[in-house]
């Protein structure tokens, strides 16, 4: 473990005014995305879709890193340049999703755990050889009334995240630690806050117990928001107040930064919430974004699988990235959307 390298890369991932593009959707998830615009999910179409983003002119101005999928880290652009090299030449860190999806939790079939610890050191070594500088592992925590998640589910997710993070650092790869409290459900914002607090507390207990270098990780978690089926959405100020209340109580000062997942929020909604959180700064940690759909949605609709639409799709993507980059510094306003 090279602590200096881990610290440097982690800080680079949460550099001021930049965030991380989550382009690590599995093949089955990409198939659903492409189906929205009537594009068949062939390997070539998936490759072309990724190329729209990775070759966007000036991507490195707003994007510090990109999380890749196993298929994508092995692909090249239309000119034959490996995607990893394309990103590196743009000043963007290549990352890799290393978890292997979800499985039912023994004794609690309504809850999920994450697969992928078996064989992880070998996969990390291979991905490091392919150029990955950081990795990501997602834990899914589901709220169902006042009974789920169970304490056992939260604790096992925390232990697995810690084991993953330790394995990454031993291979010289910065771990993104992603415990996601899901938006799906009719739960209140207060219930999301309660579960998020309990989850993050357990995660940092297990990270410290496993000997993970906290200065060499990046947290990726949810904002505190009400469940999608609960009724009216929370205002950006309400989201900021609740989220920071948890963060100030739980996150260690040595953490380099937090890169929020969008969790199904609409594009502008996610930007407005991120901005409200940063307007209440400065904070002990950088607070930025690691969005997937909230960076790619508009660009996908514009692209629709047509080469003649690539430039317009890239323009939409870069606009969204710029808006979020501004929000990561608390400098965003809705008037900027139309400029």
User: What is the dihedral angle through the alpha carbons of 53, 224, 323, 99, rounded to the nearest 10 degrees?
Assistant: -20
Please confirm, yes or no, whether 306 is among the known catalytic residues. no
φ/ψ of 218, rounded to 5, equals: -130, 130
Cα torsion 94, 177, 326, 33: sign: positive
> For the residues of 79-140, what is the DSSP string, one character each?
TS-BHHHHHHHTT-EEEEE----EEEETTEEEEEEE---TTHHHHHHHHHHTT--EEEEEEE
Q: Which of 25, 51, 178, 193 is catalytic?
A: 178
- The Cα–Cα gap between 36 and 59 comes to 25
- The closest of 309, 330, 308, 311 to 319, measured between CA atoms, is 311
Instruction: Give Rg (Cα) of the chain.
Output: 19
> For the residues of 220-258, what is the DSSP string, one character each?
--------TTSSSPPPHHHHHHHHHHHHHHHS-TT--EE
Q: Which of 220, 267, 272, 329 is catalytic?
A: 220
Question: Quick one: tokens of 301?
Answer: 């609709």
Please confirm, yes or no, whether 178 is among the known catalytic residues. yes
- The Cα–Cα gap between 88 and 13 comes to 13
- The Cα–Cα gap between 258 and 287 comes to 5
Active-site residues, by number, are 178, 220
């Amino acid at each position: 473990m090279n602590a200096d390298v881990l610290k440097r890369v982690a800080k680079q991932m949460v550099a001021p005014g930049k965030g991380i593009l989550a382009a690590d959707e599995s093949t089955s998830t990409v198939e659903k995305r492409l189906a929205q615009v009537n594009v068949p999910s062939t390997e070539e179409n998936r490759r072309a879709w990724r190329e729209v983003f990775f070759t966007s002119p000036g991507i490195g101005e707003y994007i510090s890193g990109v999380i890749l999928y196993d298929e994508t880290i092995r692909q090249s652009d239309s000119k034959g340049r490996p995607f990893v090299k394309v990103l590196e030449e743009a000043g963007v860190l290549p990352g890799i999703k290393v978890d292997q999806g979800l499985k039912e939790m023994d004794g609690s079939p309504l809850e999920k755990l994450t697969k992928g610890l078996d064989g992880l050191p070998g996969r990390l070594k291979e991905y490091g050889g392919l150029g990955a500088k950081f990795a990501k592992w997602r834990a899914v925590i589901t709220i169902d009334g006042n009974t789920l998640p169970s304490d056992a589910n939260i604790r096992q997710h925390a232990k697995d995240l810690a084991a993953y993070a330790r394995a990454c650092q031993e291979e010289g790869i910065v771990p993104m630690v992603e415990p996601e409290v899901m938006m799906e459900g009719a739960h209140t914002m207060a219930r999301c806050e309660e579960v998020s607090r309990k989850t993050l507390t357990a995660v940092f207990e297990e990270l410290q117990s496993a000997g993970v270098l906290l200065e060499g990780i990046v947290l990726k978690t949810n904002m505190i928001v009400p469940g999608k089926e609960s009724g009216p959405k929370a205002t950006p100020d309400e989201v900021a107040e609740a989220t920071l209340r948890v963060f100030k109580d739980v996150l260690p000062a040595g953490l380099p930064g937090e890169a929020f997942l969008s969790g199904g929020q609409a594009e502008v909604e996610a930007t407005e919430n991120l901005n409200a959180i940063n307007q209440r700064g400065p904070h002990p940690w950088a607070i930025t974004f690691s969005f997937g759909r909230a960076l790619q949605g508009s660009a996908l609709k514009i692209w629709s699988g047509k080469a003649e639409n690539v430039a317009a799709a890239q323009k939409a993507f870069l606009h969204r990235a710029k808006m979020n980059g501004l929000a990561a510094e608390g400098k965003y306003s809705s008037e900027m959307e139309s400029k």
